[in-house]
Amino acid sequence: MNNSSTNNFESIRIDTIKNHILSSWGIIYLVFGSIGTLLNLCVFTRRAHWHFSPCIPYLFASTLATIPLMYVSILSRIGIGLQITPFYYIPILCKLQVYISNVSVSLVIWFTIGSCWDRYLSSSRNALTRRMSSLRNTRRTVLIITFCISFAYAQIFYCFEGNLIMAAAPCSPKNTQCSIIDTTLLFVIQFSAPPLIIFYFGINIYLNVRQMKYQRQMPTISITKATQTRNNQKTDRIILRMVFIQVTLLLICSLPVFAFRLYTTLTLTTAKNSLRRSVENLIFNVTLLIYYFEKVCSFYIYTITSRHFRQILWQFIITIRSDNIIVPENQK
């Protein structure tokens, strides 16, 4: 009995720590993420930036996908921290919250993969392959990715229920079969396939860039063609740097939540007391905040890693300032 009371006390203390972390860091994510997303949209909607590279629409679509991530996923984390959790107990809110969260996170990841795919196409030594890197194909790919991911997570509306007492969280899969389906989809769409695909594209991009450097050193290339090649390669390096940094952070931020979900899958049938469930809930929410970091902070990543992005942003700021300057009547 004494041991049970100690467990309950520790469980309450851990839940208090979890709520403090979620409310404070959730608000920080929401504020800085909203500012960054707004500025991302302002930069990526500029016509000059869209013609810069067919990769830009992927980054724009990824920015759009972070909006429901912030105002559903992160807002729900803040609600948990403040103990405002209607989605825990109302079935339709539970299903919608989980569905929107998973779809938005997956879209951000797969649009990042799309940008790697475009860099692979544009760096290819084959002219026909390079022609596949176009705005038209980018738009089609964005639509296909959106449809496939939205359809894949439709099982959430059947599998998830609210007000589950013995689960790690009250809004969880309602039985073991649903938990296996949800975990399998999560591993395939968010954790297993993306790193493998990104690694494959990364190796091929590296080989293509090395081959292009070798070709650039050959003396038989005309001056005009060499100049055009250098300009294209400069563009590719700018975009590739942005994509490479984002992909690296994506993989780093995915590792903790991947490891935790693997642990929960392996201990799916293990009986757990209230203290253990509280500890697991704390770890789950912390790994989830780490998982969201790269997606919410993409604007700051682009600003740090891309001089071109900073130039477009500065041009936008100058335009806003010039539009707000009041010209005296006698100077018109």
Q: Domain map of the chain by residue range?
A: 11-310
Give the integer Cα–Cα distance in Å for 267 and 239. Answer: 42
Q: CA-to-CA distance for 211 and 125, rounded, in angstroms?
A: 8
Q: Whose CA is closest to 252, among 297, 304, 200, 311?
A: 297
Query: By three-state DSSP, how is residue 322 classified?
Result: helix
Q: What is the mean pLDDT of residues 265-280?
A: 78
pLDDT value of position 218: 47
Q: Rounded to an integer, what distance in angstroms lies between the CA atom of residue 152 and that of residue 220?
A: 51
Q: Specify the CATH class of 11-310 in words.
A: mainly alpha
216 has pLDDT over 80: no
pLDDT of 147: 96
Percentage, residues of the chain above pLDDT 70: 81
State both tokens at 156: 């959430």
Strands 172-173 and 160-161: antiparallel
The 10s digit of each residue's pLDDT in 129-175 is 888 888 888 889 999 999 999 999 999 999 888 877 666 667 788 88
Question: Is the per-residue pLDDT at 225 higher than 60?
Answer: no
Pull the structure tokens for residue 40.
Answer: 């991302």
Average pLDDT on 85-114 reads 89
Under the banding of pLDDT at 50, 70 and 90, the label for residue 106 is very high
- Determine which helix (DSSP H) or strand (DSSP E) holds 24, and give its type and residue range: helix 2-44
State residue 149's pLDDT score.
Answer: 95
Q: Select from 175, 27, 172 the least CA-distant residue to 87.
A: 172
User: Given the structure tokens 């997956």, which residue do they identify?
Assistant: 106
- List 161's β-bridge partners, or say none: 172
What distance separates the 2 farthest-apart alpha carbons in the chain?
Answer: 86
d(CA 229, CA 122): 12
Residue in the block written with tokens 């041991």: 3
The label of the residue with tokens 């339709």 reads 92
Tens of pLDDT, residue by residue over 57-93, are 888 898 899 999 999 989 988 988 898 888 888 889 8
Report helix, strand or coil for 161.
strand
Arithmetic mean of pLDDT over the chain: 79
b/e 173-189 (16+ beta carbons within 10 angstroms → b): beeeebbebbbebbeeb
Taking CA atoms, 166 is separated from 5, 16, 65, 162, in Å, by 19, 19, 32, 11
The separation between CA 217 and the C-alpha centre of its own chain, rounded to angstroms, equals 38
